[in-house]
Amino acid sequence: MVSRIDYTLYLVTDSTMIPEGSTFLKQVEDSINNGATIVQLREKNMLTLDFIERASQVHKLTLKKGIPLIINDRVDVALAIDAEGVHVGQDDMPASIVRKLIGPNKIVGVSCSFPSEVEAVCKEGVADYVGLGTVYKTNTKTNVLVPQGTGPIGIRKMLQVLKAHNTKQGNNYISCVAIGGINESNASKVLYQSAIQGQSLNGVAVVSCIMASKNAARSTIELENVIKSSVPWVKDINNQCFYIKTSEKIKQVVESKPLIHHITNNVVKNFSANVTLSIGASPIMSEFPDEFEEFASLIPNLALVLNLGTPSAGQMEIFKRAISVYNKHGKHIIFDPVAAGASTPRLECCKELLNAGQFSVIKGNVGEILALWKLTSKYQVSHTNENNLLMRGVDSVAEVSEADIKKIGREVAQDFRVVVVVTGAVNYVFDGTGFNSDSQNIHDVSLPDEKFGVAQVQIPGGHRIMSSITGTGCSLGSTIAAFVAAKADGSSNATFNLFDAVVGAVNFYNKCGFEVGRDIVSAPGTFMIKFLDKLEHEAHLHLQDDPKAMYYKTRAYNDYDYDCYYSY
Ligand code: 3NM
């Protein structure tokens, strides 16, 4: 088999979409000369003689540049021109037969849409790479199996299977690219979001983004730049921990007066806005997409709360517009998947949103985080008793043990590369951001599972009465957003530690809830008023360090150990 193939920018051709004024060969040549690292000739309706003629023309170009030419489906054409490889789909000639026909030194690629198909390719053991798709909706191929796209969630599930193969001693390494609806606007996002610990994509495959471009050279250069650049939402995050008290962090919120954009449910808008004001931030409740770009591009200390409490078809489009704009400008999004496990359509909404872009924080109760856990890459490939136990937990959240909460919290955090907050009598915060990767590949998480520690903290506090007052959960989302927008980790760096800021928010909020509940016991109406007062009081008046105040004990990423205590 062929080794060291560069799959980074994989051009798949299509002669039906050439723009006016250009030619098929010009599009291919412009792309090859400006960054395409491998080319697949894909002609679905061409006479054999014409196909061979075209293949040898393209081969001349690729040979000159020293990059491989792969022929789609037609082994005979590949043999005729001595191409470097053949790519087959699930309904084409089986890869094992292709291998026999073209020999051990050529490249064999196979398209896969599901983990079971990747598993079959791994078992067969003759392919050099797999093309995973369809990632996003595409107009280029009409008969795809998942028209809406598998999204990064689906890609990760396939990568989990591939990783099991690739990390096993003695197995031939199988590379992978993603395909379908990829272009300059989403290439770095798909590379970043698809990566799981120990296995990331080797590249992206594109058709229309280059073949239909009026300037194929420029489109290729832009795509290459995007592939090689970091995703915007990590630019202000660091991984340094300063063990700084919550009082220092809330001070930063008050001083920076961040703007918290809420797209939230109708029940809690008023309370969330009041909580936001009480802690010294400014709320804006906007579902008007035309102004999102202006917010995200012009306001520095800004974060978005996205709350699924009262979903509707129209709201999904608004959510997705907001995600796209906020991701583009690297602004942080706090996702509250309210009642994610309540119905299949609601979980589908979560999936659609998590596939649409990157969140920084996901906050939910045990049931909600358990529901999202079903979308993680390890969920479907593992058929262990452990998983069965957790599945019972989805139906009966009360049965979920602390160990289960820690497992699902960690796995959701790792898979979605976010900070996860699991709320309850005890709150848990997990850091799955993994920005301390040493990898050369900026989208790669790279560290193997056993080395990738997920920092985790348990935060007590709050009060049971809070569960009978609407908005107390949702407003924690507003508080987290305020700490994140203010970069309130207690340090004065331009960058901040996302996990520390979130821990500060959860700590602050629950300390206030505990103290108010302790003093007034069972009076929900009074609690609401007193709670707002308390938040305001603590935020603005108690900014000095209190020697008995909340403090952290230890933090060690690799031991999953980050205890948090505070004294009352
Ligand atoms: N294969 P575009 S999707 C050729 O899902 C191909 O296996 C797919 O085109 C798969 O980059 C696809 O224009 C077309 O979206 C991708």
Does 255 share its domain with 403?
yes
**Which domain does 208 fall in, by range?**
9-228
Q: Are 352 and 325 in contact (CB under 8 A)?
A: no
Judged against a pLDDT cut of 80, whether residue 436 lies above it is answered with no
pLDDT band of residue 555 (cuts 50, 70, 90) is very low
Token reading at 170: 């003695």
CATH number assigned to the domain comprising residue 393: 3.40.1190.20
> Ligand 1 center to residue 7 CA distance, Å?
16
Does 292 share its domain with 161?
no
CB distance 180 to ligand 1 below 6 Å: yes
Does 487 share its domain with 527?
yes
Of 228, 256, 277, which residue sits at a domain end? Answer: 228
The model's pLDDT over 351-363, given as tens digits with 9 standing for 90+, comes to 999 999 999 999 9
CB distance 72 to ligand 1 below 6 Å: no
Does 261 share its domain with 187?
no
303 in any annotated domain: yes
Closest ligand 1 atom to Cα of 205: 11
Average pLDDT, integer, range 298-308: 97
pLDDT at 557: 36
The model's pLDDT over 18-32, given as tens digits with 9 standing for 90+, comes to 999 999 999 999 999
Does 122 share its domain with 177?
yes
423 in any annotated domain: yes
CB distance 473 to ligand 1 below 6 Å: no
CB distance 187 to ligand 1 below 6 Å: no
Judged against a pLDDT cut of 50, whether residue 564 lies above it is answered with no
The model's pLDDT over 142-181, given as tens digits with 9 standing for 90+, comes to 888 888 999 999 999 999 999 999 999 898 999 999 999 9
CB distance 446 to ligand 1 below 6 Å: no
Judged against a pLDDT cut of 90, whether residue 255 lies above it is answered with yes
452 in any annotated domain: no
In DSSP terms, 11 is beta-bridged to 39, 206
pLDDT at 365: 94
Judged against a pLDDT cut of 70, whether residue 371 lies above it is answered with yes
Closest ligand 1 atom to Cα of 112: 7
pLDDT at 398: 57
Does 317 share its domain with 422?
yes
pLDDT at 311: 86
Closest ligand 1 atom to Cα of 211: 13
Q: Tokens 């998983």, residue? A: 387
CB distance 111 to ligand 1 below 6 Å: yes
Q: Are 465 and 527 in contact (CB under 8 A)?
A: yes
How far, in whole angstroms, is CA 442 from its chain's centroid?
Answer: 14
Mean pLDDT of the chain, nearest integer: 88
556 in any annotated domain: yes
> Ligand 1 center to residue 247 CA distance, Å?
52
pLDDT at 242: 61
The model's pLDDT over 205-225, given as tens digits with 9 standing for 90+, comes to 999 999 999 999 999 999 999
Does 216 share its domain with 258?
no
In DSSP terms, 175 is beta-bridged to 129
pLDDT at 91: 95
> Ligand 1 center to residue 175 CA distance, Å?
18
Q: Which of 478, 474, 363, 451 is nearest to 412 (CA)?
A: 363
Does 38 share its domain with 95?
yes
> Ligand 1 center to residue 107 CA distance, Å?
19
Closest ligand 1 atom to Cα of 208: 13
pLDDT band of residue 544 (cuts 50, 70, 90) is low
Token reading at 491: 């340090």
Q: Tokens 């954009």, residue? A: 261
CB distance 182 to ligand 1 below 6 Å: yes
Residue 474 a catalytic site member: yes
User: Which one is predicted more confidently, 280 or 543?
Assistant: 280
Ligand 1 test: best mutation among 16, 179, 201, most atoms within 8 Å of CB?
179
pLDDT band of residue 542 (cuts 50, 70, 90) is low
> Ligand 1 center to residue 552 CA distance, Å?
49
Q: What would the 3-class secondary structure string for 396-444 be? A: CHHHCCHHHHHHHHHHHHHHHCCEEEEECCCEEEEECCCCCCCCCCCCC
Report the greatest alpha carbon distance in the chain: 86
Judged against a pLDDT cut of 70, whether residue 383 lies above it is answered with no
| Rounded-to-integer distance, Cα 544 and Cα 541, Å | 8
Does 162 share its domain with 282?
no
pLDDT at 367: 94
> Ligand 1 center to residue 480 CA distance, Å?
39
CB distance 9 to ligand 1 below 6 Å: no
| Rounded-to-integer distance, Cα 241 and Cα 491, Å | 9
pLDDT at 561: 35
CATH number assigned to the domain comprising residue 19: 3.20.20.70
Q: Which of 105, 130, 126, 102 is nearest to 116 (CA)?
A: 130
> Ligand 1 center to residue 131 CA distance, Å?
9
Of 179, 196, 228, which residue sits at a domain end? Answer: 228
Closest ligand 1 atom to Cα of 135: 5
Number of folded domains in the chain? Answer: 2
CB distance 141 to ligand 1 below 6 Å: yes
pLDDT at 1: 43
> Ligand 1 center to residue 372 CA distance, Å?
28
CB distance 149 to ligand 1 below 6 Å: no
Give, using CA atoms, the residue closest to atom 4 of ligand 1: 141
Ligand 1 test: best mutation among 12, 145, 186, most atoms within 8 Å of CB?
12
The model's pLDDT over 78-125, given as tens digits with 9 standing for 90+, comes to 999 999 999 999 999 999 999 999 999 999 999 999 999 999 999 999
Judged against a pLDDT cut of 90, whether residue 442 lies above it is answered with no
* Plot region of 418 (φ>0 → left; ψ -120 to 50 → alpha; else → beta): beta
User: Which one is predicted more confidently, 383 or 335?
Assistant: 335
Range with the poorest average pLDDT among 184-193, 231-240, 484-493, 537-546:
537-546
CB distance 109 to ligand 1 below 6 Å: no
CB distance 456 to ligand 1 below 6 Å: no
Range with the poorest average pLDDT among 24-28, 259-263, 533-537, 561-565:
561-565
Range with the poorest average pLDDT among 210-214, 279-283, 303-307, 555-559:
555-559
Does 253 share its domain with 201?
no
328 in any annotated domain: yes
> Ligand 1 center to residue 179 CA distance, Å?
5
Name the active-site residue from 349, 350, 474, 512.
Answer: 474
65 in any annotated domain: yes
Does 310 share its domain with 215?
no
322 in any annotated domain: yes
Pick from 248-252, 289-293, 536-540 the range whose average pLDDT is largest: 289-293
238 in any annotated domain: no
pLDDT band of residue 443 (cuts 50, 70, 90) is low
CB distance 208 to ligand 1 below 6 Å: yes
The model's pLDDT over 401-419, given as tens digits with 9 standing for 90+, comes to 989 999 999 999 999 999 9
User: Which one is predicted more confidently, 7 or 441?
Assistant: 7
Ligand 1 test: best mutation among 38, 113, 138, 209, most atoms within 8 Å of CB?
138
pLDDT at 352: 96
Does 265 share its domain with 146?
no
